[in-house]
Structure 1
Amino acid sequence: MNKIWQKGKSGTALKIIDDYCFNQDAQLDNSLVKYDVYGSISHAFALNKLNIITEDELLQLKKALKEILELEKQGKFTIEAGDEDIHSKVESYLITKLGSLGKKIHTARSRNDQVLVDLRLYSKDRLLNVVQTVIGLAETFQTYAKKYEFIPMPGYTHMQKAMPSSVGLWLGSFSESLLDDLPAIKTAYDLNDQSPLGSGAAYGLSLSVDRQLTADMLGFQKVQNNSLYCQASRPKIILCIIQSLVQVMLTLSRFAEDMLLFTTNEFNFFTVGTELCTGSSIMPQKKNLDIMEHLRAKTQVVINYQQLVVSLSAGLPSGYNSDFIETKGPLMNTFLRVNQSLEIVQLTVKSIQPNIEILKKAMTPELYATHAAYELVKKDMAFREAYIKIGNALDKIPAYDQVEVLKQSNHLGGTGNLGVELITKQLINYKEWWEKQVELFKKAVNLLIK
C-alpha cells in the first residue's frame, strides 16, 4: 500500500524501514480502529462546518466510516504489515470507496493529533471499564470481610506474630486500599479527558476548525488548549494513567503475597479451589497457587512500563517526536495486565475458605500481650509499667476469649468495628459517579454513529 505521505513514485522507504518504524506498532493499532472512526466522523462534521465538504459528502463519509465499524466487528478490517498505521488504513479505505471525496478527510488534520485523539478515546474507554472492575472487586472484599468479621487470625508486624486480627480486618484492608486507588485513577481520567483534535501536527492550522464541536461530539470534558502542548502531553498523560494503575497492582500484589504465604502447608490459614491451582510435572502432590505468583510478576512488569514511559519522555524537545510511538505498547499492555489481574483476584477472593480451627490454634498467647497490658491499664496502672510487667511474664498471659477480644477493639476501623457501612457508602458514591461517566460517553458515541 502506498503511504499517505508519498508524493508520487519517489520517496518510497525500504521494507526494513517499515518493519523497524511501523509494522510492530501497526499491530497495536488494531485496538484503535473504532476510536479512529469516531474521531474521523467528528472531524467530517468540522469540515462540513468549514464548507470544505457538503452535507451530502458528509453523509457519504459517515456511511463509509460506519462500514469500517461493522467490518471491524466481523474481524474483516485489520491493520496488516505494510499498512503503516490505522490512520493510513482508514484513509485508504475511504479513497477506495469514495474516490476524491476520501482524499478530503485529512484536511485540517495531522496524524499527530489523529493518534492523540485515538489514544485519548481508547484510554477513556479502558479506564471506564477498569474502574468498574476495581469497584466490583472492592465490593467483593467488603462482602467477605463482613462474612468473616469475627474469625480470628494472627496479626503480624516485621513478619512476626504481633496482635489479634481477623479474617474480616485482613480482607477489608484490601477493599479500602482499592478505594484509595480510585482518586488516582480519576486524576488520570480527568487529564486524559481533553480533546487534542484540531491541534494539527503541533502548531495549529490555518483553517478555523471548530475544536469545541469535535470535543463535544466525542464526549470530552474540554478542549486541550495549547496546540504544541497537545503533543508534549502525550507521554505525560500516558504516564499518569499507568501510574494510577500501578497503585491498583500494588494493592493486588500485597494480596498475592499474603495468599502465597497463608496457603503454605506451614500456615494453612486458607484453602482455595483446585480449579485455581496448577500442579507439577514431577511431584504428584503439588497444588500450586501459580496465579498469585504471576500476579506478583505482572505487578513488576507494570511498574517497569511506568519506568519505560518516564525514560522515553525525559529530555525530549517540544513538538512531535517519534519516540512517542514506543509509549503505546506500555499503555495497552498495562490495561491488559491490570484487567486480567483484577479478574483473577475476584475469582480468588470468592474461592477463599478459612481453615477456622487452624486459625484459632494459631492464636497463641503472646498475641494477647498488648491486650493483657491494657487490662492492667483499665485498673489504673500506667501503660509503661503494665508493658514491663507483662513483658516479664509472657508465660503467664491468660487464655482470653478470642472473639470477645476482637469485639473489644470497637473503635472505628478496629476488629470489632470494621466500618463496613462507611466504606460501602463511599464505594456507592464512587460507583454512581463513574456510572454517570460511562453513560455520558456511551451517549456521545451513540449520537455520533447513529
Structure 2
Amino acid sequence: MTEHHRPIWDRGEAIDPEMLSYTIGDDWLQDQRLVEHDIAGSLAHVAGLVHAGLLEDEAGQRISKGLRELLDEYRAGSWQLTPADEDVHSAVERLLTAKIGEDGGRMHLGRSRNDQVTVDVRLWLRAASADAIAATEQLIASLQELESAHGSLPLPGYTHLRRAMPSSIGDWLGAHRASFAADLDALRDAQKRGRFCPLGSGSGYGIPLPLDRGFVAEQLGFDGPEEPVTAVQHGRGRPELAYLSALEGLAISLGKLAADLWLYSSAEFGFVVLPTEFTTGSSLMPQKRNPDLIELLRAQCRQVLADRAALLAVIQDLPSGYHRDFQLIKPPLFRGHDRALASVRITARLVPALQFDTETLQQAAADPQLAATAKALQAAAEGGQSFRSAYREEAGSEN
C-alpha cells in the first residue's frame, strides 16, 4: 500500500490508510495535467493577497519566486506528482514549503482547494479547447482543398444506402465540411463557458477577507469573477460538460466521415482509394490492405460519447454545494479530450492524401435510375399533370 504524504487537512487524528488510498484514487495522476495551471493560479492568488494588503510584499515575492522555480523545475523534469501525493495542490504547497520555509503555507490564505481546482480546470479547458479549435480548423481547410481539387467528380447520392439522385464529390465533401464548421462553432461557444474566475469563492460561500476578486481574475485572463460565489460549486462540471458536448458533436461528424470512407473505399464501392501509408496489412493474407485507421477512428469517436455520458453521470442529481463526487469529473474529461483531439488530427492528415477512382465514379453516376426524380419533376412541370401522376408514370417506366 502506498504511504502518502501527510494531508494538508490532517489535524493529528487517526486516518485509515485504505480510506485515504481509496479517496485519492488516481487523482494524483489526473492532476499531472494541472501542475502548470495550479502554479499559475497560485501566482495570481499571491499577487491578489499582496494587492489586498493581506500579505507583505516581501513574503509575496519569496512565495512567487519559489513558485516560479518549482514551475521551471517541473518543466525540466526535476519533479512530478507521485502516488504519495493527494493532489496537485497539496504537492505544490508541500514542495514550496520545503523550498522557502513556512511562508509556503501562507499561500493558501483566503483559498480553498474547491476554488483552486476549479480555476485549474478552467485554465486547462482554455488551453484544451484552443487545441481542439485549431485542429478542427485545420481539418476544415484540408476538406476545402480536397473539394477544390476533386469537387467536380460525379458521385451517386444515397438514401437508405441505395442509389437515389445525382450528386458530386464536392457536395459530399461540402456536407462534411459544413458539419465540422458547426462543431467549430460549438467548440467556440463551449470555450466561453469558462470565462469567469472562481477564485475567491472558497469552499463555495465566499471568503470573509477583503479580496479583490476582479484583480485576480484579470491576472489570469478571465473576463471577471464568477458571481454569485455560490454559483461556482453549484455549476461544477457544467463548463466541462459543455466542452465534452462540443467534442461529442465533433466525434459524431468524424464518425460519419469515417463510415463513408470505410464504405466508399471497399471493393464493392471503389470510389475512394486509401493511401497505402494509411492502411495496415494482414498477418495471414498477403493481398490485404486494411482500413484499420478509419475503423479505430469510428470506435474512438463512439468512446467520446461514452466519456460525455460518464461525466454527466457524475454531476447529475447532486444537491447544491461542493461534493467529493466532483473529483471524478476529470478522468472522462481528459479521456474525451485526448480521444477527440487525436482523432481530428489524424483525420486532418488523412484527408489530403485521399484519392478517387474517376472511372468507377463515372460508371456509377451513369446509372439511369439516378435521373428518375428529375424526369418526374420535369414531366409534372412541363406537361401540366400532377406530380403524383408523373411519379407513377416514371416508376412504371423504371420497372
> 1:7-51 CA distances to partner (integer Å, 9 max, x unpaired)?
24x34441x233322141110101001100110000001111232
Cα separation, 2, equivalents of 1:343 and 1:190: 23
Q: Which residue of 1 aligns with 2:305?
A: 303
Matched, 1:107 2:128: no
Q: Which residue of 2 aligns with 1:235?
A: 237
Cα separation, 2, equivalents of 1:328 and 1:214: 24
Q: Which residue of 2 aligns with 1:48?
A: 50
Which residue of 143, 146, 156 maps to 2:145? 143
Cα separation, 2, equivalents of 1:78 and 1:13: 25
CA apart distance, 1:377: 4.5
Cα separation, 2, equivalents of 1:168 and 1:18: 58
Q: Which residue of 2 aligns with 1:282?
A: 284
Secondary structure at 1:153 match in 2 = strand
Cα separation, 2, equivalents of 1:120 and 1:313: 17
CA apart distance, 1:226: 2.1
Secondary structure at 2:53 match in 1 = coil
Which residue of 354, 366, 373 maps to 1:370? 373
Percent of matched pairs sharing the same residue: 34
Alignment RMSD (CA, Å): 1.5
Matched, 1:391 2:395: yes
Does the 8 Å contact 1:272/1:352 carry over to 2?
yes
Q: Which residue of 2 aligns with 1:216?
A: 218
Normalising to structure 1: TM-score of the pair? 0.84
More displaced stretch, 84-93 vs 139-148: 139-148
Q: Which residue of 1 aligns with 2:354?
A: 352
Secondary structure at 1:81 match in 2 = coil
> 1:221-276 CA distances to partner (integer Å, 9 max, x unpaired)?
22111222201211222111111110011001000111111111111111111111
Cα separation, 1, equivalents of 2:252 and 2:291: 19
Normalising to structure 2: TM-score of the pair? 0.95
Number of positions where the alignment pairs a residue of Structure 1 with one of Structure 2? 393
> 1:363-421 CA distances to partner (integer Å, 9 max, x unpaired)?
211111122234434634443333223222127xxxxxxxxxxxxxxxxxxxxxxxxxx
Matched, 1:178 2:176: no
Does the 8 Å contact 2:70/2:96 carry over to 1?
no
Which residue of 263, 266, 269 maps to 2:268? 266
Which residue of 366, 379, 382 maps to 2:382? 379
After TM superposition, the structure 1 = structure 2 runs for residues 23-42 of structure 1, keeping only pairs within 5 Å, are 23-42=25-44
List gaps (5 residues or longer) in structure 2: none
Matched, 1:207 2:213: no
Secondary structure at 2:211 match in 1 = coil
Cα separation, 2, equivalents of 1:100 and 1:312: 37
Q: Which residue of 1 aligns with 2:331?
A: 329
CA apart distance, 1:340: 0.4
Cα separation, 1, equivalents of 2:286 and 2:326: 49
Does the 8 Å contact 1:202/1:320 carry over to 2?
yes
Cα separation, 1, equivalents of 2:388 and 2:147: 34
Does the 8 Å contact 1:23/1:82 carry over to 2?
no
Secondary structure at 1:164 match in 2 = strand
> 1:55-84 CA distances to partner (integer Å, 9 max, x unpaired)?
222222221111122122222231100111
* Larger RCO (alpha carbons 8 Å, 6+ apart): 1
Q: Which residue of 1 aligns with 2:96?
A: 94
Cα separation, 1, equivalents of 2:316 and 2:378: 58
Secondary structure at 1:379 match in 2 = helix
CA apart distance, 1:163: 0.5
Q: Which residue of 1 aligns with 2:344?
A: 342
Cα separation, 2, equivalents of 1:324 and 1:332: 14
Does the 8 Å contact 1:372/1:390 carry over to 2?
yes
Secondary structure at 2:163 match in 1 = strand
Cα separation, 1, equivalents of 2:143 and 2:234: 39
Question: Which AA in structure 2 matches 1:356?
Answer: T
Secondary structure at 2:289 match in 1 = coil
Q: Which residue of 2 aligns with 1:193?
A: 195
CA apart distance, 1:355: 0.5
> 1:185-218 CA distances to partner (integer Å, 9 max, x unpaired)?
2222111111101100111111121111111110
Cα separation, 2, equivalents of 1:141 and 1:221: 34
